[in-house]
Amino acid sequence: MVAPGFVFGLVLPLIVRADASAGVGFRFASYIGNDMVLQKEPAGAVIWGYGISGATVTVSLWQGQETIMKKVTSVKAHSNSWMVVLDPMKPGGPYEVMAQQTFGRTNITLRVHDVLFGDVWLCSGQSNMQMTVSQIFNATRELANTVAYQSVRIFSVSLIQAEQELEDLAQVDLQWAKPTSENLGHGAFKYMSAVCWLFGRDLYDALRYPIGLISSSWGGTPIEAWSSGRSLKACGVPTRGFTQSDTVTGPSKYSVLWNAMIHPLHNMSLKGVIWYQGESNVNFNRDLYNCTFPALIEDWRQTFHRGSQGQTERFFPFGFVQLSSYLSATSDDTFPEIRWHQTADFGFVPNARMPSTFMAVAMDLCDRKSPFGSIHPRDKQTVAYRLHLGARAVAYGEKLIFQGPLPENVELLADRGLLNLTYSQEIQVQRQDKIFEISCCSDHQCKWLPAPMDAFSAQTLALNIRSCRGALAAVRYAWTTWPCEYKQCPLYHPSSTLPAPPFIAFMTDRKPGEHSKLAGDIVAL
């Protein structure tokens, strides 16, 4: 499944650091530095670091010569850490953050310059999130387009593993920085994430205030490496007996990336998370992904909410990219199943198991000629644009269309040999006779047959099911690894050009002429 000669991501030595405070003096946490973005109102930004046990720490926020606020705390005895929560701030800046440690007659002062307040987003996943701007379409133009986005600040976590949860990052690839062609296009799969950057840039265009972007990704990694032991246990993930598949080329040991690359950020006040992962679970605990992914989201939300002293919302917005297409020597259901499991088997988000989530459908963004293998399509601009639409709707409450059309009802017209689908939105249709399929059963055996499009209107689509000589058991759409060519799937929303997501629905106990709600009811495996 891996393109010959291709490596999903960089592999760095294992670094285990159980106590990030050991042997250090007075300092900020690793990700607090010049040029950073702190989370704006209504949250209070968390500032923390390490010092001498028992010392007093005063944190102040300055703008020019004016003191905006002061917070006083002390260094905890066991962890040697200190923490304050700033008062909520409106977006803007720049500000200076100053921290002063007083211990006896000794004073030490730290300063962080050019700090902005805005929204902070964490971007994580595997290689499609790790790809840099230098690897995508129109890379030269994109790398040069940074002057107008100096209030979009970027930060990248190093590729590190750990056996236990770290309290602070052991290593940083890119400290907070203003975007440049050099730090956005540093190298193949070597920071800064293109999807992360483009998503933040689109958000800035819409919101017009500072955006902070934190990239923490590693190619070829399964979801289990990014999950805490708690969430894996909740899903009954087996602890032994697995043979690693060729889709897993990065660290696969359970929780090692959660421990080293996510948990150290949990004190931070965040606006939300975007995620692009799943390819490495195609042949690795695939059947559990409909639990492990919702469980990861829930666990990250709990951990960040608690770590930030309640400043990060308990159900903060979580966006993700549904898997794109891949040229495979064999055609099977593995990719479609992961796409389906990414929605907890609903076919859409938000849903009852995945509240406050949003999804970018990417199955129509295939890339046959990608030099990084077809599993790594280069059109990350469209991915980011679709993600930002979801964020604007779910995270910012805008009234806009952010997902493609999904069937709401299905009607079996057996006497006419038709299956009639009614969609939730208007549909723009391009005829394609093999992308819809029906499961036809006779003699206790079922097989999938094409269901050609017969007729359509603004929100309805009739499928020809006359080829079925038995009982109709199910219908599905785009249930293949490579459903269509680039932006040529048959169903889109007309004005937003958002593609209809794949779905599967079972027709159990269906009577001719009976209507049933599709989304959320029989769209469940």
pLDDT per residue as tens digits for the range 437-489: 999 998 889 999 999 999 889 999 999 999 998 999 999 999 999 999 999 99
Pull the structure tokens for residue 440.
């036809």
H helix or E strand, kind and range, residue 80? none
Give me the mean pLDDT over the 38-44 stretch. Answer: 98
Give me the mean pLDDT over the 195-207 stretch. Answer: 98
- Model pLDDT, residue 3: 35
Give me the mean pLDDT over the 217-234 stretch. Answer: 97
**Helix boundaries (H) for 97-147:** 127-130, 139-144
Using an 8 Å Cβ cutoff, are 172 and 31 in contact?
yes
Question: What DSSP state is assigned to residue 224?
Answer: G
Q: Is residue 19's pLDDT more than 50? A: no
What distance in Å separates the CA atoms of residue 503 and residue 348, rounded to the nearest whole number?
A: 9
Give me the mean pLDDT over the 99-106 stretch. Answer: 94
Rounded to the nearest 5°, which phi and psi values hold at 281?
Answer: -105, 5
Q: Is residue 6's pLDDT more than 70? A: no
Using an 8 Å Cβ cutoff, are 22 and 171 in contact?
no
* Domain spans of the chain, in order of start: 122-161+194-396, 407-506
Query: Which range has the worst mean pLDDT, 65-74, 455-464, 506-515?
Result: 506-515
Using an 8 Å Cβ cutoff, are 357 and 318 in contact?
yes
Give me the mean pLDDT over the 208-231 stretch. Answer: 97
What distance in Å separates the CA atoms of residue 57 and residue 83, rounded to the nearest whole number?
A: 9
- Higher-scoring residue by pLDDT: 187, 382: 382
pLDDT per residue as tens digits for the range 302-315: 999 999 999 999 99
Confidence of residue 24 (pLDDT cuts 50, 70, 90): low
CA dihedral of residues 72, 77, 82, 83 (deg, nearest 10) = -80
Cis? peptide before 192, omega within 30° of 0: yes
- Calculate the alpha carbon distances from 19 to 30, 78, 120, 163, 397 in Å: 13, 11, 26, 12, 40
Give me the mean pLDDT over the 161-176 stretch. Answer: 97
- Model pLDDT, residue 486: 97
What string of DSSP letters covers 431-491? --SSSEEEEEEETTEEEEEE--EEEE-SSEEEEE-TT--SEEEEEEES-SSS-SSTT--SE
Any idea how long the chain is? Answer: 525
pLDDT per residue as tens digits for the range 108-123: 999 999 999 999 999 9
Of 190, 199, 198, 254, give the one whose Cα is nearest residue 222.
254
Query: Mean pLDDT score of the chain, rounded to an integer?
Result: 91
- Does pTM top 0.75 for this prediction? yes
- Model pLDDT, residue 4: 30
pLDDT per residue as tens digits for the range 367-393: 999 999 999 999 999 999 999 999 999
Q: Is the dihedral of CA 102, 106, 107, 110 positive or negative?
A: negative
What share of the chain has pLDDT > 70, as a percent? Answer: 91
| Assigned architecture for domain 122-161+194-396 | 3-Layer(aba) Sandwich (3.40)
Give me the mean pLDDT over the 415-430 stretch. Answer: 93
Using an 8 Å Cβ cutoff, are 200 and 153 in contact?
no
What distance in Å separates the CA atoms of residue 130 and residue 190, rounded to the nearest whole number?
A: 7
- Which amino acid, 70? K
- Model pLDDT, residue 242: 59
